Amino acid sequence: MRLLVVEDEPDLLTGLLRALRKDGYAVDSAADGEEGLHKALSTDYDAIVLDVMLPLLDGWELLARLRKKKSTPVLMLTARDRSADRVRGLDSGADDYLVKPFDLPELRARLRALIRRSAQQARPVVQIGDVCIDTAARTVTRAGAPVFLTAREFVMLEYLARHQGEVVTRTDLYEHLFDESEETQSNLLDVHVFNLRKKLGTEFIVTRRGHGYCIE
C-alpha cells in the first residue's frame, strides 16, 4: 500500500514516515501544499495523510482541488479542535479527521479502516481458502497455524487479496509497494512472491505470464 503524507512540521513528518514505513507501507512525503497536490494528482495513492495548515496551499484548498479529479481516501490532521473545523473537513471531502496531538496507534488504525472502506471491505479479516488475513491485527494464519511474514510481504499479500480474482500487473505492484525514496530492483517482486508461495502454498499466487499475479 502506498501512502502520501503532506505535513510541514519536520519532526512530525519524520516520525510518521519512519512509523508507516516500519509497517511495510510505501510512503511519499510533501512539506507544502503545492508539492502535495502535485503528487496526489500524479500518483494513485491508497490513502493520504493531510495537514490543514500548510505553506503555499493549505489543506482545505488542496483537498478541494483533489476532489475535482480523484476520490483518494484522505485523513486530515489539524491542531484545531473546534467542531466547526471537523465539520468543514468532512464536508469538504475528507474521509476522516484527527486532532493533534494524536496517538500513533490510532492514526494507523484509522488509515487501515480508510483503506478497507475504499476497497469496499467492511471487515478487517479476509478469508481465502485456509488462509486468514487479519488486516487490523496484521496477522496471517494458514489452517489455523500462524504464518510469519515480513512487513513488505504482508503488504503485498494484502494488496493482492484486496484484488482477489483480478490480475495485478507488475507495474501496479511496484507503484503500490515502493515509494519515491527506494531503489527498486527488477527481481524484488519475484523474491516476495517466492517467499509468499513458500509460506502459503505454491498455488496460492498464480503467475499470469506477460500480465502479472493473481489470487484466484
Q: Could you tell me which of 97, 39, 98, 91 has the C-alpha nearest to residue 70?
A: 39
Q: What share of the chain is helix, strand, coil (3-state, %, to 5)?
A: 40, 20, 35
* CATH at residue 6: 3.40.50.2300
The confidence score (pLDDT) of residue 182 equals 67
The confidence score (pLDDT) of residue 16 equals 95
Domain shared by 110 and 137, yes or no: no
Residue 181 identity: S
Domain shared by 108 and 165, yes or no: no
The confidence score (pLDDT) of residue 136 equals 80
The confidence score (pLDDT) of residue 31 equals 95
Domain shared by 103 and 7, yes or no: yes
Number of domains in the chain: 2
The confidence score (pLDDT) of residue 173 equals 86
Where among 88, 118, 148 does a domain terminate?
Answer: 118
Q: Which residues in the chain come in under a pLDDT of 50?
A: none
Q: Residue 213: how many CA atoms within 13 Å on its side-chain side? A: 23
User: 86: domain range?
Assistant: 2-118
Domain shared by 133 and 50, yes or no: no
Domain shared by 129 and 90, yes or no: no
Where among 56, 87, 118 does a domain terminate?
Answer: 118
Rounded CA gap, 206 and 196, in Å? Answer: 11
Region of 212 (left: φ > 0; alpha: ψ -120 to 50; beta: rest) is left
Domain shared by 34 and 81, yes or no: yes
Number of H helices, E strands in the chain: 8, 12
Domain shared by 46 and 139, yes or no: no
| Total-model pTM | 0.77
pLDDT in tens, 16-68: 999 999 888 999 999 999 999 999 999 989 999 999 999 999 998 999 999 99
Domain shared by 93 and 133, yes or no: no
* CATH at residue 138: 1.10.10.10
**Cis amide bond preceding 101, omega within 30:** yes
Domain shared by 79 and 158, yes or no: no
Where among 118, 151, 186 does a domain terminate?
Answer: 118
Domain shared by 88 and 189, yes or no: no
Domain shared by 31 and 105, yes or no: yes
Residue with cell 510505501: 26
